[in-house]
Structure 1
Amino acid sequence: MTHTIVMTGATRGFGRVAVERIREGDPEAHLVLLARGAAGTELAAHLSQSGRPVTSIPTDLLSLGSVRAAADELIQRLDTGDLPPLRGFVGNAGLLYTNNVTESPDGFEATFAVNVLANHVLIRLLQDRFKAPSRIVLTVSDAHFGDFRHNAGMMPAPSWQDPASLARIRAFPKPNTVTAGGTAYSTSKLAAIYLIHEYARRLPQGVDIVAYNPGFVPGTGLSREAGAAVRFVGRRIMPLMTLTPMASSQKNAGQHLADVALGRIPAPSGSYIDRTREVSSSKESYDLDRERQLWETVEDLCLPIAS
């Protein structure tokens, strides 16, 4: 039966690879791409040339108002039958800033806004529209471990604190530095895993949610908001790391993401999937008190703005 799969982060990097694999692996899927600017529209038009329609809804994930508008359009089109039943959401978009002082239009720290709040708004507003069985996949990162074994010191460890502080700029020491930006990123990915555990307890029966860790994937455009020097290293130097076991190529990361979204990699709701298998996330990422406190905080922070 034809069904809808909604995806962010589909227009570049391994998300672009995943889109193709999802279409190949699930001929009944009607993809809806949420993307900023013309990128989503252009990709949807290109993919639709095959005869299977792909829908694009312009969405700026930095703006919760824009996220709400996209969710409202999805709900309206699902309810009227313009889109087939919703059975999947892939939250693959993410950002890494080289500082901890960049604000979203709503006044939130930008990394936290995209990596945590945008997904939360979409999931919460769409949760009653999913038809079982459904699978939600959020792309996370092994940066949340904060140890050398998982990222060779390339990313600072997360630094957990009051979630209301994490959602605002200057939460970390020397906020104008690359280190503070990296800490914000790894902490936002830890927050995403906390919320995945909470979603798994709260989502309707038959609506599963899992975390997907692609490993280190050079050249994805993750740091596209960074300065020229950092972008150069990301484009020219880091891709060489795919020759080592530590890194994943964009092709492999995209194929694995699609396989997770299509349910080819079995895992119960709330699980952490590292590339192709279910494993445990970091010890720090299992903390019921933090999970509940974060849930209450993001509810208070973002849903009123998005309503």
Structure 2
Amino acid sequence: MESTTAGEWIAMTVVMTGGSSGFGSVAAQRLRDSGATVIVGSRAESGRAELDLTDLASVRAFARGVAERSEDEPIGTVLLNAGLVRAHDRDRTPDGIETTFAVNHLAHYLLLRLLLPVLADGARVVLTARHAQTLPEVQSRRIRLVAFDPGQVFGTGLARDLALPMRFAWAAMGTRLGSPVRAFNPHMNTVPAAGRALAGLATEEVGFPGVAPPGSGVREVGPGHAYAALRRGRLSWTQPSALAQRPDVAKQLWDDSAELVGLPR
């Protein structure tokens, strides 16, 4: 668990996955420079996984450690940015789940649910969703199939497309989060541009000044925005697909994910 604090005025903590490389590391550094305490869950250099998203036991242990620290400093932001893309769906996690699905969706679902009790009021959650508009029809039986045998359904592509409907799942289930949950699509932008945009989304309305660059569009966000897409260096707010907004899809996704990680619906 990597933690860095810059400055003493800040009273919020950022918990992040996917913050050790790429545009995630840019976002993490901008947050540190603004005075945030940033906890990045990642594999240790020694090979010991402080947060191994392929192992649900590791996710639970990481969440416990974060919760213990939150007694002194509230968690104001959660960035679920880690993800992977495999050319095949043959790999399985120690829990027997297809690896892409486990890392990109299920581990993040579990982490966020475990952190819910220790989030500050008004906490912001941002989920990176690179292909969120291409979600195929989701049925309860299909979610379970894609977790354990995705080749029988429609491959690992589904796992990369779950973040946006998950945003609506949180709102539909009446958690403490609701509208502060947003999905972010970095598209094919430069690493610095995507990092700046992610940091801006993570901090706006949470109390970190000076993170979002002028003209980025971050400070133009209204309460109804949920899906931010970065195109040609500028953040825009895109209307999600009708399927992504369906309450029945959100509830199925929530319920099936809960069953897979052993939590109540």
TM-score, normalized by the shorter chain, greater than 0.5: yes
Partner of 2:242: 283
Quick one: which of 247, 251, 257 aligns to 1:292? 251
- How far off its partner does 1:101 sit? 1.7
Quick one: which of 93, 109, 121 aligns to 2:82? 93
Quick one: which of 164, 171, 194 aligns to 1:200? 171
Map 1:138-217; keep pairs closer than 5 Å: 138-141=127-130, 143-146=131-134, 158=136, 160-161=138-139, 162-172=142-152, 183-185=155-157, 187-201=158-172, 202-204=174-176, 208-215=180-187
Answer yes or no: is the 8 Å Cα contact 2:85–2:100 preserved in 1. yes
Q: What percentage of aligned pairs have identical amino acids?
A: 30
- How far off its partner does 1:39 sit? 8.3
Are residues 1:252 and 2:252 paired?
no
Cα distance, 1:269–1:108 mapped onto 2, change above 3 Å: farther
Amino acid at match of 2:261: C
Question: Which protein is bigger by CA-based radius of gyration?
Answer: 1
Answer yes or no: is the 8 Å Cα contact 2:168–2:244 preserved in 1. no
> Does the residue aligned with 1:127 lie in a helix, a strand or coil?
helix
- How far off its partner does 1:248 sit? 0.8
Quick one: which of 70, 87, 94 aligns to 1:78? 70
Partner of 1:65: 57
- How far off its partner does 1:169 sit? 2.6
State the Cα deviation string for residues 242-287 of structure 1 (Å, max 9, x = none).
xxxxx21111111111111111522437711112122112333222
- How far off its partner does 1:171 sit? 3.5
Answer yes or no: is the 8 Å Cα contact 1:210–1:269 preserved in 2. no
2: CA distance between counterparts of 1:120 and 1:293? 13
Partner of 2:229: 274
Cα distance, 1:100–1:135 mapped onto 2, change above 3 Å: same
Cα distance, 1:23–1:300 mapped onto 2, change above 3 Å: same
Cα distance, 1:39–1:248 mapped onto 2, change above 3 Å: farther
- How far off its partner does 1:166 sit? 1.6
Q: CA RMSD in A?
A: 2.5
Cα distance, 1:40–1:68 mapped onto 2, change above 3 Å: same
1: CA distance between counterparts of 2:136 and 2:79? 24
Amino acid at match of 2:113: R
Q: Which has the higher helix share?
A: 1
- How far off its partner does 1:208 sit? 1.7
- How far off its partner does 1:299 sit? 0.5
- How far off its partner does 1:126 sit? 0.8
Are residues 1:262 and 2:203 paired?
yes
- How far off its partner does 1:195 sit? 1.4
2: CA distance between counterparts of 1:126 and 1:104? 22
2: CA distance between counterparts of 1:37 and 1:190? 28
Unaligned runs of 5+ in 2: 1-9, 205-211, 213-217
Are residues 1:34 and 2:41 paired?
yes
Between stretches 66-75 and 203-212, larger displacement belongs to 203-212
Amino acid at match of 1:114: V
State the Cα deviation string for residues 92-111 of structure 1 (Å, max 9, x = none).
00011111121111111111
Equivalent pairs, count? 234
Partner of 1:242: none
2: CA distance between counterparts of 1:40 and 1:134? 32
> Does the residue aligned with 1:167 lie in a helix, a strand or coil?
helix
| TM-score, length-scaled by structure 1 | 0.70
2: CA distance between counterparts of 1:129 and 1:40? 29
State the Cα deviation string for residues 19-78 of structure 1 (Å, max 9, x = none).
122223x32x1111100132899xxxxxxxxxxxxxxx8110110000000001111222
State the Cα deviation string for residues 137-167 of structure 1 (Å, max 9, x = none).
11001x2334xxxxxxxxxx74645211121
Cα distance, 1:302–1:100 mapped onto 2, change above 3 Å: same
| TM-score, length-scaled by structure 2 | 0.80
Cα distance, 1:40–1:91 mapped onto 2, change above 3 Å: farther
Unaligned runs of 5+ in 1: 42-56, 147-156, 174-179, 216-246
Quick one: which of 9, 13, 20 aligns to 2:29? 20
Cα distance, 1:68–1:20 mapped onto 2, change above 3 Å: same
Answer yes or no: is the 8 Å Cα contact 1:132–1:207 preserved in 2. no
Amino acid at match of 1:260: L
> Does the residue aligned with 1:36 lie in a helix, a strand or coil?
coil
